[in-house]
Amino acid sequence: MAFLAACVAMLQVGDFPQVSQASASSPAESETSTLLRAQAPFGMAPERAITVHHTMLIPFGRRSISVPILMYHYIRPVPSANRDWMGYRLSVSPANFHEQMDWLATNGYHAVDFNDLRAYFAGSRVLPDKPVVITLDDGYIDLYTTAYPTLRSYNFKAVAYIVTSFVGESRYVTADQVVQMDRDGIQIASHTLNHADLARTSPYWVTYQLATSKVWLERLVGHPVVDFAYPSGKFNSQVVYALQTTGYDTAVTEMPGTVHSRDDRYTWTRVRVGGGESMADFAVRLGSEESPLVLTTINTGPGD
């Protein structure tokens, strides 16, 4: 009897077209469904299927949300800490990177980019549950040869911060590779002209660095580039002001944290991924999960 009552409730909800529409515009990846079969208990055709979808999303209206922005540099065999301490700190092995992407996919994370966050804070698009931003700094060649194929194999978006005067140099990506990645799920962002320490640069040169790298990337990819990463995480209020006047919309630091709002978008924090950490450690660094809204929709249709 209880089952029958539940079926009646489901069918009534399923009659509302707007419920189905909400399902269609929601992030499809997070859908789970249960197929129920009803033996024509209330005038339905026999073998009619009732499909219940549970879609999890981050609803509009939250001023700040927990969305970890992961920070990577090299994805390459990790050099010896004794011989190259800086290279050691900045490297994650290809196997480790693969394992981390696999963990994110298996545990229901959804890789989004800064266009998605912009649209969320503007109120024009919801976010999938468990959003994460994957960023890779400096535009090393392994961004293209190693990180990019792995990201695509999981259908993950990512963000690449490019140092424009390094493009085409021997250890870095080429202009053609930047364009290809831009067309294929990797959001291209600026990381200055030559990786200058902007906190120690005169206001004129800060503006020059920001403006010229932005224009160069925009001409290359053919659309606005408005996201930025401070080289070595160094900035001050003058640099933030210069970002605003040159048309940037966000900037990430190297300060740790996972909660972000539109108001602090020029000083967004990141999660440094070292590569040597255990998967349990990696999981802890992602911070607390933003609680999702569960949207339940019911569709009725002919059975298989």
Are 290 and 131 spatial neighbours (Cβ–Cβ below 8 Å)?
yes
* CA–CA separation, 234 and 113 (whole Å): 22
In degrees rounded to 5, what are phi and psi of residue 190? -95, 150
- At its nearest, how many Å lie between Zn ion and the CB of residue 195? 6
What is the closest distance, in whole angstroms, from the C-beta atom of residue 231 to Zn ion in the complex?
5
Closer by beta carbon to Zn ion, 128 or else 231: 231
Among 113, 138, 142, 182, binds Zn ion (CB under 5 A): 138
Q: Which of 237, 276, 266, 271 is nearest to 255 (CA)?
A: 271
What is the per-residue burial (b if ≥16 Cβ within 10 Å, else e) of 49-82? ebbbbebbbbeeeeeebbbbbbbbbbbbebbeee
Give the nearest distance from C-beta 194 to Zn ion in angstroms. Answer: 11
Least distance in angstroms from the C-beta of 225 to Zn ion? 16
Q: Binding mask 218-247 vs Zn ion (x if CB under 5 A, - otherwise)?
A: -------------x----------------
Tell me: does residue 182 bind Zn ion (CB under 5 A): no
Asked if 137 interacts with Zn ion (CB under 5 A), we say yes
User: Nearer to Zn ion by C-beta: 8 or 86?
Assistant: 86
Segment interacting with Zn ion (CB under 5 A) among 91-99, 136-144, 237-245, 273-281: 136-144
Which of 56, 206 has the CB closer to Zn ion? 206
Phi then psi for 87, rounded to 5 degrees?
Answer: -60, -35
Nearer to Zn ion, 35 or 86 (CB): 86
Q: Which is nearer to Zn ion, 113 or 138 (CB)?
A: 138
Q: What are phi and psi of 58, to 5 degrees?
A: -95, 110
> Which one, 121 or 172, has the nearer CB to Zn ion?
172
At a CB cut-off of 8 Å and minimum separation 6, what does 3 contact? none
- Closest approach of Zn ion to the CB of residue 25, in Å: 37
Rounded-to-5 percentages of helix, strand, coil across the chain: 40, 25, 35
> Does residue 167 touch Zn ion according to CB under 5 A?
no
Please report, as ranges, the residues that interact with Zn ion according to CB under 5 A. 137-138, 231
